[in-house]
Each structure stands twice: as structure tokens, then as C-alpha cells.
């Protein structure tokens, strides 16, 4: 199985889109998306310096546009899993068919502007905590009055919050941990971004979200999301919620992913995967010259199952790994209501309920009592839905 990943803020580099403009239609595509995003993506990706593209309002739509532009030149129908880090989730959602590319770029523009505005309300920041005991690191972050904004795995946690709290953490770091202050505008993925979440939610409410056509992982908890409106709500919620990339990588391992393609500007997620997911093939796509290697990896590892439903049925899938327990007394042939809990997945952290997203008839159980299940695995078929 192959996963395609879209990077998040901090992965941008000056001039990284220059090679892409040589491809037919690329510049026209970027100019159209620029209108939707409210920023000049061509300028930002080719002429802007590092300081200009560090601006949150400009960086976020630039990264989403870059990932989508690169993906247009790959056989995405053979990608079994997609995921994105932070703002990269918007690109991943478009690659999964939940959003149109136009909606993803538009939301990225709103998200970037509103998060930049939230940063201006109060002086906050972020620091990377590298190494140390995971429990001790989280305890130290909490003791400093901060939030674990990004839990990236591979021994990397990003603390965020007030400047005073960050100074307190730096003065007394956890044992065997290094603290590196990050050059960012503010405390992303914390309650400090509440105004941005509210503003993004108002825009997202006018967007139609479709069911994903392939397995789409969520930063919120690393689970596979099979319902478009649910993913849209999660994209809004993620503005103030921690990025659990560690759980996304664990899900990639649980799914048996054998290769990863990271879209432009690539490198950050590939580095995390190299340390956390041993033995998988990793391809980074930074210029059009990297496309042949990515296509080759997709051809050899792709073609995995997707969430695409049969025209007359919907399939309820597992959002996490564990053992499945159908709801007591629920048999094939039973009427199912929208939102009805049909079972639970028992995990090490406790049970995770599984619900049907639409009404219909429980036509067939695809997993049974105590069956081990992986994220994205079909659990039940609900008839009478189109």
C-alpha cells in the first residue's frame, strides 16, 4: 500500500516553484488559485524571499497549492492513503475527493489570514522539544503553562503558548531534551487560535464535502475518516487542536503502508517517516524531475482499497486499529438510523464508537466479534444509500 503525504508550514523554501512553471498549464493554474487564495502564488513560489514566505497568511495557501500542483502530475487513483500535516490536511482532503482543489485553496487562504490575525492579538510562540522521556516532556510543557501543539513522533514535540511560558520551559528543560525556539508568528494549534477557528468555520459552512475516495487520515487522532462533512468539521477544529502526526504515522504502520510519496515542498515528513517507519520506501517530490521516481513507486506499491462506495450501498469503516465488537443485538437486516452506533473498536486507550453516517439497512457485517481491524477496514455494509 502507498501513502501520499502533503507537508505543512515550515517546509517552504524560496523559489521552490520555479521548476514547476515549465510544465504546461502550471502558471495558469497558480494564477487562478491566486484569485481564490487572495495572494500571488506565482510570486510567492518563485521570487519571494524567505522572510516573505514565512508570513502565515501567504505560506498556507502556497503550500496547499504546491502539493495540489505536484499531485496533478501523478496517478493519484492508485494511492491508497492520503494525509497532510497541519495545513497540508486541506491538500490531502482535496486529493481524497472530500474538497475540490478550489475549495482547498480558498480555505487555505482564509485559514492563513485568520491565523495570522489571531497571532497579532497576543505575543505567543512555539518551541521544539527534541528527545527526552515522552511523559516527562508532556508534563514539563503543561507545568510551563504551554500546550503540546504538535506531537510529530520520532522524539519531537512542539510546545506552544505564551512567551513567558516558553522561557520557563527553556530555562528548565526535561531531562535529555533539547529546546529549540521556532521562528513562527504565534501559538498555532492552541486555544490562542480560537478567533481563526471561528472565522474558518463560517466559511467552511458554505462548502459541500464529499465522501473520500481513498483512505484519508486525520491529524486530530490519526484515524481514517470516511465521511466528508465530518472531515470538514475536523479541518476547522484542527486550527486549535494539537496535530497528532505521531498517531498518523502509527496508522500508516497499522495499514501496512510500504511506500510514501511526499509532495512538494518535500523533506520534512519524509525525515519523520524515515525515523519512525523502518523499512519503507520514501520518495520526495521537489521538482518535476522527481515525478518519474514517484510514478514508479506508485505503480509498484499502489492500487490499495479505497473508501469509494458501491452506488447502492455505503460502507462503514474502522477509524482506528483494535478489535471490533458489534453493538449487542444488532443483526443483519436491521434498520439503521443516521448517526446510530453500530459497534465499537477496542483499543489500548479504550473503546472507540463506530457510527453509521446515513440511514439504511444493515445489509452485511464485514467484521465480526473480536475481529482485529485496521484503520480504513470495512466493518459493515449499509444498504439503501446512494
Catalytic sites, residue numbers:
86, 189
CA torsion angle for 87, 7, 152, 119 (degrees, to 10)?
Answer: -40
Distance CA 30, CA 67 (A): 12
State the angle between helix axes of 101-119 and 56-71 in degrees (0 to 180), rounded to the nearest 10: 160
Give the strand pairing for 322-326 and 341-347.
antiparallel
Distances (CA, A) of 17 to 189, 293, 368: 27, 19, 49
Output the DSSP codes for 23-52: STTHHHHHHHHHHHHTS-HHHHHHT--TTG
Q: Cell 505543512 sits at which residue?
A: 8
Q: Cell 519503507 sits at which residue?
A: 280
Distance CA 342, CA 353 (A): 8
Distance CA 187, CA 176 (A): 24
* Helix count and strand count (H, E) for the chain: 12, 17
List Cβ neighbours of 74 (8 Å cut-off, separation of 6 or more).
4, 261, 285, 291, 294, 295, 298
Of residues 75, 6, 64, 71, the one with CA closest to residue 304: 75
Please count the other Cβ atoms lying within 10 Å of the Cβ belonging to residue 366.
17
Q: Cell 481524497 sits at which residue?
A: 96
Please count the other Cβ atoms lying within 10 Å of the Cβ belonging to residue 279.
5
Q: Are 269 and 259 in contact (CB under 8 A)?
A: no
Amino acid at each position: 500500500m502507498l501513502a501520499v503525504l502533503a507537508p505543512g508550514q515550515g517546509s517552504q523554501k524560496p523559489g521552490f516553484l520555479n521548476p514547476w512553471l515549465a510544465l504546461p498549464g502550471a502558471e495558469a493554474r497558480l494564477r487562478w488559485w491566486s484569485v481564490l487564495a487572495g495572494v500571488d502564488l506565482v510570486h510567492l513560489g518563485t521570487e519571494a524571499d524567505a522572510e516573505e514566505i514565512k508570513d502565515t497568511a501567504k505560506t498556507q495557501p502556497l503550500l496547499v497549492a504546491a502539493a495540489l500542483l505536484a499531485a496533478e502530475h501523478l496517478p493519484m487513483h492508485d494511492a491508497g492513503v492520503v494525509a497532510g500535516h497541519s495545513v497540508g490536511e486541506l491538500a490531502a482532503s482535496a486529493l481524497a475527493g472530500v474538497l475540490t482543489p478550489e475549495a482547498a485553496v480558498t480555505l487555505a487562504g482564509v485559514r492563513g489570514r485568520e491565523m495570522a490575525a489571531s497571532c497579532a492579538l497576543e505575543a505567543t510562540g512555539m518551541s521544539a522539544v527534541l528527545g527526552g522521556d515522552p511523559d516527562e516532556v508532556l508534563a514539563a510543557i503543561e507545568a510551563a503553562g504551554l500546550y503540546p501543539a504538535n506531537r510529530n513522533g520520532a522524539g519531537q514535540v512542539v510546545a506552544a503558548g505564551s512567551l513567558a511560558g516558553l522561557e520557563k520551559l527553556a530555562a528548565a528543560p526535561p531531562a535529555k531534551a533539547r529546546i529549540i525556539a521556532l521562528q513562527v508568528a504565534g501559538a498555532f494549534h492552541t486555544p490562542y487560535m480560537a478567533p481563526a477557528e471561528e472565522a474558518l468555520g463560517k466559511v467552511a459552512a458554505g462548502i459541500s464535502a464529499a465522501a473520500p475516495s481513498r483512505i484519508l487520515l486525520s491529524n486530530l487522532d490519526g484515524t481514517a475518516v470516511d465521511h466528508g462533512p465530518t472531515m470538514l468539521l475536523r479541518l476547522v477544529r484542527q486550527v486549535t487542536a494539537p496535530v497528532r502526526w505521531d498517531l498518523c504515522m502509527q496508522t500508516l504502520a497499522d495499514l501496512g503502508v510500504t511506500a510514501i510519496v511526499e509532495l512538494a515542498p518535500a523533506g520534512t515528513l519524509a525525515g519523520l517517516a524515515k525515523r519512525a517507519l523502518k523499512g519503507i520506501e520514501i520518495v520526495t517530490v521537489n521538482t518535476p524531475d522527481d515525478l518519474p521516481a514517484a510514478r514508479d513507486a506508485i505503480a509498484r506499491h499502489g492500487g490499495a482499497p479505497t473508501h469509494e462506495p458501491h452506488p447502492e450501498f455505503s460502507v462503514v469503516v474502522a477509524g482506528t486499529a483494535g478489535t471490533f465488537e458489534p453493538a449487542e443485538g444488532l443483526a443483519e437486516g436491521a434498520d439503521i438510523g443516521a448517526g446510530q452506533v453500530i459497534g465499537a473498536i477496542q483499543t489500548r486507550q479504550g473503546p472507540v464508537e463506530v457510527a453509521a453516517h446515513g440511514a439504511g439497512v444493515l445489509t452485511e457485517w464485514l467484521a465480526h466479534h473480536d475481529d482485529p481491524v485496521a484503520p480504513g477496514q470495512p466493518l459493515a455494509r449499509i444498504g439503501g444509500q446512494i
